[in-house]
A and B are shown apart, each in its own frame.
Chain A
Amino acid sequence: MTSENRRIILVLSAFCILFVGLVGYLSYFQVFKAEAVKNNSYNKRLWINEENVLRGSIMDRNGNVLAYSEKDGETNKRYYKYGNLYSHIIGYSYREYGKAGLELEYNNVLLDISESAALNELKNLVLPSSVGNNLKLTIDHSTQEKARSLLNGRKGSIVLMNPKTGEIYAMVSLPDFNVANLNENWKEITENPDSPLLNRATQGLYTPGSIFKMVTTLGVLESFSLDLEYNCVGSTVIDGYKLTDYNERAHGKLNLHDAFVKSCNPYFAEKAVVMGKDKFGEVAERFMINKKIHFDLPVKTSQFPYKGNVEETEIAASGIGQGRVVVTPLNMAMMASAIANEGEMVKPILVKEIIDKDGRILKVMDTEVISTVTGPSVANTIKDMMVDTVKAGTGTNARIRNVTVAGKTGTAENPSGKSHSWFVGFAPAEAPRLAIAVVLEEAGVTGGQGAAPIARDLFIHGLNNIDFEEEY
């Protein structure tokens, strides 16, 4: 080949690479980037439907309307009846600030936009200026109000759910913000160092402290060769690093049951090390730690880094829920639910039904088991420990007359210096209807003092007020 022809082909090859590169980039853009680009609030296409379609209403499980739209002359106006109460569940939909919460996740449903554009166009021809679909939530409005009032302005979060069906009855996160008048306080909200926009229930990652001993306990129960007896002297030294009990109180000789009820740190730290990180990690992942939880709102994944080169002290710390373990309150409510539900963890549900404007039910969310944590007998063993924890252990503040409560407290040390106060549990223990996770962020008190009474009060309110549809 002459050098001229060779060079011609070189230039042609350069063009081929450029154009094939363009096709490649276009595919990459469409597959990986288009979704985020489309949802930018500057995209006018997001709002064009808003003008023609009356956005659907959102109501609680009993049909109380929580958010609705009305025609205001030419434009449609969105009303949020309960300012702060649903700021992290329903969220908001504003032209200026975009969308958040269910308003974002269920935007297409609320506006009755189907996935197919052609079908939409057809629908617009047949029914111009239509009305969107309504959402019926699993939330119980009075319980939601009670939960928010129990936090009493303190930073933290509560998730109350049905352990068998996965329905969320209440989910609060404080600080929150008033979605009804975002225009007036947007700047203040975004600049607040306590980040009120953050939904702590699903996106807050907290050190769990002793509530994580439920995971460690399951690991211990499954490791048959493990010696369940232990002599606690108030502290233990692992790999040169000293782990102590709360107030360095020695518990003396105890077995797994007593260690759980008294929340003995040296016991679980040592057993975690003996169990081994792989076994421990595998058990944790059954509780959906390190796993993506699919939910109606975006959920951060709880983390327990155990793979690779992890030191023994790190595993020991993880055994008592310290170290690098971080979890979301929603995940912890699901953990309690799994034990309540004989070892089966169900998917949490926030939207119960999608109902069209004529009242027809378009879709009902079904209960779905997402992880089998353990079998019924092991689950009952752990349940008994939790019942005794509330009866005579660290969780006595959660005790209710006539109702058996099962629970576990946690007092999680963290970099702020003030510990998080945790309580997870369920009630009634014999036939669980409610499972709960309460966390008071940087409360500086123990789980038994801070979180347990809140759980008790919410259990009482919920058991008396929620309309449980299932038969027991």
Chain B
Amino acid sequence: MLDTNIRPSTPRRLLFLYEILALILLFIYQKDNLDQYIIGIGIGLILLVHISNYLLLKISKGDNYIFLIATMLMSIGLIMIYRIDSQAGVRQLMWLALGIFFFYISYFLVRYLKGLNRLIYIYIGLAYFLFILTFLLGKRTYGAINWIRVFGVSFQPAEITKLILIFILASFYYQYENFKEMKYSSYILMAIAYSFIGLLFLQRDLGMAVIFYAIFLAIQFIYEEDRKLILLNIGLAVLGAIIAYQAFSHVRIRVATWIDPWQYIDDKGYQITQSLFAIAEGGFFGKGLGLGHPHFIPLAYNDFIFSAICEELGVFTGMGIIMLFLLLVYRGFKIALGQSNLFYRILALGISTLFGVQSFIILGGVLKVIPLTGITLPFVAYGGTSILSSFIALGILQAASEDFEWRMSDD
């Protein structure tokens, strides 16, 4: 479906070259006290990336760039995480392997399960169930209650709920003609989306609330026929933002440290200023892998991984990451434009918007372009559920990039 003139192995070889060079740098950096894991990490990463890419080429006739982009991003992320903390690097490699496993699972499920477009009520129920679960079992970290522990594993339900939201929207607009007969159905959909956003606010997960809102707004903007609803949506968001600013002190703090973090450098502005120091120190070409001071940045392999990358690998690498995300979003939208089945088209749009908004919020946050909210950079940052959820989303996008017309004739 998506034809290209370069052979698919060419970009994979370039990626291989990048990984080898970065791993050699890591090796040199460690040469005085070699870590026992370095060989394992190196071989593990290369095998994982190349086997999964090769397999995908055999299995899927769809887009063969989005997975490549994701593996490039995760390679940069893993190398940086490993450089900061080798134990975390080993765990991240395991998460990535599990993530890719989940990628294939979600890919096959979306591709072969029929009737996914008719389960809207189940999706809605599941979403509320996950929210209730969070409130019942939630743990408070950094002021937000968004983690629960299941079988000894920390787990952030909203990472799954955001995918469910996309399925709800896709099912709704897929059956738009039917729902239109129901009175105020679009209003009800909006009420449900806003209830999610409100619940996220109560959990103090501001970044996630913005992601939910952006996905909803994008899909509504493209498919809603009642255009005044879109204005209403934007108006409500502005009103909501003002109310949130007045009502919640933690929102006001975010805004204040965004406008002038230097004033609060000792406490509230500490994180963002440390991030800016790192980016400024890096310059265009970076200090070099292992030659910077990522340990000065709080949450360096999590929320602030981008700053740590800019310090050691340079702002040019940072720009590269930004452009990779833009490419990913672009491929996602291209997939949507080429997909003839409406349900899968909306899935592709929702997931592309998710990747775009999530990466923009955290990149803009650590650069102090927008207020900082703690969410992870997809594929790059360390994090269990975040990695899994990103790969699941990518699996759905991969499936959506294929031709579903044959299924229509089968039905």
Given contacts A15-B356, A37-B280, is CB(A48)–CB(B221) below 8 Å?
A: no
Check A460 for interface membership: any CB of B closer than 8 A.
no
**Chain B neighbourhood of A5, CB < 8 A:** 337
Contact assessment for B221 and A11 in the assembled complex, using a CB-CB cutoff below 8 Å: yes
> Do B322 and A26 touch (CB < 8 A)?
yes
**A392 in the interface, Cβ–Cβ < 8 Å?**
no
- Please tell me if the beta carbons of B293 and A44 are within 8 angstroms of each other in the complex: yes
Interface membership of B34, Cβ < 8 A: no
**B283 and A30 contact, CB distance less than 8 A:** yes
A38's partner among B280, B291, B363 (CB-CB below 8 A) is B280
Q: Chain A residues with Cβ under 8 A from B337's Cβ? A: 5, 8-9
- Chain B residue nearest to A117 (CB atoms) is B287
Shortest distance between the CB of A115 and any CB in chain B (Å): 10
A426: min CB distance to chain B, Å: 45
Stretch at the interface among B148-156, B164-172, B328-336: B328-336
B288 within 8 A of A: yes
**Is there a chain B Cβ closer than 8 Å to A18's Cβ?**
yes
| Inter-subunit contact A34/B283 (CB<8 Å) | yes
* A33 CB contact (under 8 Å) in B222, B280, B333, B364: B280
CA distance A19 to B283 in the complex (A): 20
Number of cross-chain contacts by CB at 8 Å: 107
User: Any chain A CB within 8 A of the CB of B276?
Assistant: yes
- A30 close to B315 (CB less than 8 A): yes
A37 in contact with B277 given A11-B218, A11-B333 (CB within 8 Å): yes
Binary interface profile of B, 247-291, with partner A (CB < 8 Å = 1, else 0)? Answer: 000000000000000100100000001001101110110011001
A25, B322: Cβ atoms closer than 8 Å: no
| Known contacts A44-B293, A121-B291, A38 near B367 by CB under 8 Å | no
Q: Is the CB of B296 within 8 A of A44?
A: yes
Instruction: Give the distance in Å from the alpha carbon of A82 to the alpha carbon of B307 in the complex.
Output: 43
Q: A15-B356, A18-B360 are in contact. Are A118 and B367 (CB under 8 A)?
A: no
A12 near B291 (CB under 8 angstroms)? no
> Are A45 and B222 in contact, with the CB atoms below 8 A?
no
Q: How far is the CA of A59 from the CA of B15 in the complex (A)?
A: 54
* A118 vs B296: C-alpha distance when bound (angstroms): 19
Q: Does B369 contact A (CB under 8 A)?
A: yes
Shortest CB-to-CB span from A122 to chain B, Å, is: 10
User: Do residues A22 and B322 form an inter-chain contact, with CB atoms below 8 A?
Assistant: yes
* In contact, A37 and B276 (Cβ under 8 angstroms): yes
Residues of chain B contacted by A21 (CB below 8 angstroms): 369
8 Å CB contact of A34 from B279, B287, B291: B279
Shortest CB distance B169–A (Å): 14
| Residues of chain A from 1 to 21 with CB closer than 8 A to chain B in the complex | 4-5, 7-12, 15-16, 18-21
Q: Does chain A have a CB within 8 A of B319? A: yes
A7 to B223, CA, bound (A): 9
Q: Which of A4, A19, A30, A121 contacts B360 (CB under 8 A)?
A: A19
Residue A403 lies at the interface, judged by CB distance under 8 Å to chain B:
no
Q: Quote the shortest CB–CB distance from B361 to chain A (angstroms).
A: 10
Interface string of A274-292 (1 = CB under 8 A from B): 0000000000000000000
Chain A neighbourhood of B336, CB < 8 A: 8
Is A377 at the interface (CB under 8 A from chain B)?
A: no
A181 contacts B by Cβ under 8 Å: no
Given contacts A23-B319, A26-B318, A30-B284, A42 and B221 within 8 Å (CB-CB): no
A45 touches B291 (CB 8 A): no
**With the chains together, A311 CA to B277 CA distance in Å?**
48
Report chain B residues within 8 Å CB of A44: 277, 293, 296
B190 CB within 8 Å of chain A: no
Cross-chain contact A43 with B277 (CB below 8 angstroms): yes
B325:A19 contact, CB within 8 angstroms: yes
Q: Known contacts A29-B367, A45-B296, A48-B293: does B329 contact A15 (CB below 8 Å)?
A: yes
Query: Smallest distance from the beta carbon of B395 to chain A beta carbons, Å?
Result: 21
Q: Residue of B at shortest CB range from A7?
A: B222
The distance in angstroms between the C-alpha atoms of A343 and B218, with both chains bound, is 70
Q: Are A25 and B369 in contact, with the CB atoms below 8 A?
A: yes
Question: Once the chains bind, are B330 and A12 in contact (CB under 8 Å)?
Answer: yes
Say which residue of A22, A23, A38 sits within 8 Å of B277 (CB atoms): A38
Size band of the B side of the interface?
A: 35 or more
Q: Closest chain A residue to B273 by CB distance?
A: A42
Within 8 A of A (CB), among B316-357: 318-319, 322-323, 325-326, 329-330, 333, 336-337, 349, 353, 356
The one of B288, B296, B360 that contacts A22, using a Cβ cutoff of 8 Å: B360
CA–CA, A307 to B283, complex, Å?
39
Q: Is the CB of B333 within 8 A of A118?
A: no
B265 touches A42 (CB 8 A): yes
Question: Is A11 a contact of B353 with CB atoms below 8 Å?
Answer: yes
A231 at the binding interface (Cβ < 8 Å): no
Partner of B291, one of A15, A42, A118: A118
CA distance A29 to B369 in the complex (A): 10
In the assembled complex, A195 has its CB within 8 A of some CB on chain B: no
Residue of A nearest to B219 (CB): A11
Q: What residues of A have a CB within 8 angstroms of the CB of B323 in the complex?
A: 19, 23
C-alpha spacing A9/B336, complex, angstroms: 10
Chain B residues lying within 8 Å of A22, measured Cβ to Cβ, are: 322, 360, 363-364, 367, 369
A25 to B365, CA, bound (A): 12
Residues of B near A121 (CB, < 8 A) are 288, 291
Contact across chains for A45 and B293 when beta carbons are under 8 A apart: yes
Report chain B residues within 8 Å CB of A185.
Answer: none
Contact residues in B for A43 (Cβ distance below 8 Å): 277, 281
For residue A38, which residues in chain B have a CB less than 8 angstroms away from its CB?
277, 280-281
How many Å from the CB of B300 to the closest CB on chain A? 13
Contact of A45 among B277, B283, B315, B356 (CB under 8 A): B277
Instruction: List, in ascending order, chain A residues with CB within 8 A of B287's CB.
Output: 117-118
What separation, in Å, do the CA atoms of A44 and B364 have in the docked complex?
24
Q: How far is the CB of B126 from chain A (nearest CB, A)?
A: 27
Verify if A129 is at the interface (C-beta below 8 Å from B): no
Task: Report the minimum CB–CB distance from A155 to chain B (whole Å).
Answer: 32
- Inter-chain CA distance A20–B223, complex, in Å, is 26
Could you mark each residue 303-320 of chain B with 1 if its beta carbon is under 8 Å from any beta carbon of chain A, else 0? Answer: 000000000000100110
* Chain B nearest CB, measured from A88 CB (Å): 26
| A4 B280 Cβ-Cβ under 8 A | no
**0/1 interface trace, chain A 123-149, chain B, CB 8 Å (1 if under):** 000000000000000000000000000
Complex: how many Å from CA A193 to CA B292? Answer: 42
A40 engages B322 (CB within 8 Å): no
Bound form: Cα–Cα A333–B407 in Å: 89
Q: Mark A70-107, 1 if CB is under 8 A from B, else 0.
A: 00000000000000000000000000000000000000
CA separation between A25 and B318, bound complex, in Å?
A: 12
Give the contacting residue for A30; candidates B280, B322, B353; CB below 8 A: B280
Contacts of B319 in A (CB 8 A): 23, 26-27
A25 to B326, CA, bound (A): 15
Residues in A whose Cβ lies below 8 Å from that of B281 = 34, 38, 43, 45
CA distance A38 to B278 in the complex (A): 8
On whether the beta carbons of A34 and B322 are closer than 8 Å, the reply is: no
User: Which residues of B lie under 8 Å from residue A26 when comparing CB positions?
Assistant: 279, 315, 318-319, 322, 367
Q: Which 8 A-B pairs have the closest CB atoms?
A: A34-B280, A37-B280, A19-B326, A117-B287, A7-B222, A12-B333, A43-B277, A38-B280
Q: 19 other contacts beyond A4-B222, A117-B288, with CB at 8 A cut-off?
A: A4-B223, A7-B222, A11-B333, A12-B330, A12-B333, A15-B326, A15-B356, A15-B360, A18-B360, A19-B322, A19-B325, A22-B363, A26-B322, A30-B279, A34-B279, A37-B276, A45-B293, A45-B296, A117-B291
Interface set of B (CB-CB < 8 Å, partner A): 218, 221-223, 262, 265, 273, 276-277, 279-281, 283-284, 287-288, 291-293, 296, 315, 318-319, 322-323, 325-326, 329-330, 333, 336-337, 349, 353, 356, 360, 363-364, 367, 369
Give 9 CB contacts A-B under 8 Å.
Answer: A9-B333, A11-B349, A12-B333, A19-B360, A21-B369, A26-B322, A27-B319, A34-B279, A38-B277
